[in-house]
Amino acid sequence: MNNLTKWLSETPNFTSFRINKLKEFDIKYLREYLETQSHELGIQQIPNMYLLKEDCLIVEKWPENVCLEKCDREVIVDVPCATAVLRGAHVFAPGVLALPTSCKLNERVDVYGDLDRQCKRGLKVPYEGRKIYVGTGYLKMQRYHLFDNGVQPSGIAIHMLLPASRLPVINESIYPMGHMLLQNLPSIVVGWVLNVKPGEHILDMCAAPGNKTTHLAEMSNNQAIKVLKVDGILVYSTCTITEEENERMVAWVLDKFPNMQLVPAEPLLGGPGLPNVGLSDEQRIMVQRFGPEDDPLRQVDDIYKNSIGFFTAKFIKIK
């Protein structure tokens, strides 16, 4: 449990982007964008980046020596917003809870997460509850836009310069729409497991917001059709680490539907399924789980352990 708690509380060491292979992608624009940021941070080096596969770009953290002096202007955000900032996001308006009246547009501000979840929205004075520093950025909205006009705010309230996690904050808008998409690595792996081809029949049974669906469309050169048949493939994936929604669901399918055969969810990049939850060792090595567990059945590269919780299984309908 301690290992799981530690893993859940840590931010990734990288950000992953899915690259649309149907579009032209030139990494130089991203390099130029990061070089501009490096000048603002006062360093010469930009984060390391590389293609894990031709449709998956990995961007690592800023160097350890990068840091910014804190200022005396504190903005409080809610926990979901703080979590997103630590993963490389800007601060969006709905997440802002407190903003001093003295803060001016385009000033640098320090962003703190409200650990106690007690900060009242619109607070003007310093927040006295427990808070945690999550990064520094530039204020892009004033109090009027956030609290005082009776309208639900939207848009970027703070353009983040450097999160405390040192993950680079990258605007996908540096490329034309549809060329590059921020997407968690295990979610990209799902597309690799299904490995669709043009003309194949595909049914996405839970497409929200649809990132994996568009990945499958790109892999099939936008020539896939929706339906499932005998000898068809079903890929089951979740963004959770709970055994009830993962291994036990696979065991339930195998028990209730004898015409569904479990097959290796290749490429097998995550760890095997959990033991003693309904699957044999032979079945456990066919699925893949992205989490903190170490299992002698399969060694996992660090890049696939340093991600969000995820699970993938693959079935073939045999009759």
Q: Are 141 and 121 in contact (CB under 8 A)?
A: no
Instruction: Tell the burial category of 120 from Cβ atoms under 10 Å away from its Cβ (0-12, 13-18, 19+).
Output: exposed
Same domain, 41 and 109: no
Whether this model's pTM surpasses 0.85:
no
CA-closest candidate to residue 238, choices 208, 276, 196, 282: 208
Same domain, 52 and 114: no
H or E element: which one contains 261? strand 260-263
Band of the pLDDT at 225, cuts 50, 70, 90? Answer: low
Same domain, 176 and 216: no
Same domain, 32 and 20: yes
CATH number at residue 101: 2.30.130.10
| pLDDT (0 to 100) of residue 208 | 63
Write the pLDDT tens digit of every residue in 290-307.
Answer: 988 889 999 999 888 888
| pLDDT (0 to 100) of residue 297 | 93
Strands 180-182 and 233-238, by their bridges, are unpaired
HSE (CB half, 13 Å, CA atoms) of 7?
17
Same domain, 133 and 39: no
Residue 172 predicted with pLDDT over 70: yes
Q: What is the residue whose two structure tokens read 């808070």?
A: 131
Residue 130 predicted with pLDDT over 80: yes
Same domain, 189 and 177: no
| pLDDT (0 to 100) of residue 174 | 87
Residue 227 predicted with pLDDT over 70: no
Over residues 216-240, mean pLDDT: 81
Over residues 119-126, mean pLDDT: 93
| Cα distances (Å, whole numbers) of residue 53 to 57, 69, 188 | 7, 37, 10
Write the pLDDT tens digit of every residue in 191-206.
Answer: 999 888 888 877 777 7
Same domain, 158 and 59: no
Residue 177 predicted with pLDDT over 90: no
Write the pLDDT tens digit of every residue in 229-288.
Answer: 888 898 999 888 888 889 998 998 898 888 899 999 999 999 999 999 999 999 999 999
Chain CA centroid to CA 87, Å:
7
| Cα distances (Å, whole numbers) of residue 308 to 73, 87, 238, 271 | 32, 11, 11, 13
Return the exposure string of 41-59: e unless at least 16 CB atoms fall within 10 Å of the residue's CB, then b: beeeebbebeebeebbbbb
Residue 142 predicted with pLDDT over 70: yes
What is the count of structural domains for the chain?
3
Same domain, 201 and 307: yes
Distance CA 17, CA 20 (A): 10
Strands 56-60 and 91-92, by their bridges, are unpaired
Same domain, 176 and 42: yes
Over residues 111-126, mean pLDDT: 94
Q: Where do runs of H (alpha helix) occur along the chain?
A: 2-9, 28-41, 79-86, 143, 185-194, 211-219, 247-256, 281-284, 302-305
Looking at residue 148, the DSSP 8-state letter turns out to be I
Same domain, 211 and 138: no
Domain holding 298, by residue range, is: 185-317
CATH number at residue 278: 3.40.50.150
Q: Which residue has the higher pLDDT, 210 or 71?
A: 71
**Polymer length of the chain:** 319
* Count of CB atoms situated within 10 Å of the CB of 153: 16
Write the pLDDT tens digit of every residue in 38-66.
Answer: 999 999 899 999 999 999 999 999 998 88
Looking at residue 145, the DSSP 8-state letter turns out to be I
Write the pLDDT tens digit of every residue in 4-32.
Answer: 667 667 788 899 999 998 888 999 999 99
Same domain, 199 and 286: yes
Same domain, 265 and 289: yes
Across 147-156, 195-204, 211-220, 257-266, the highest mean pLDDT is recorded for 257-266
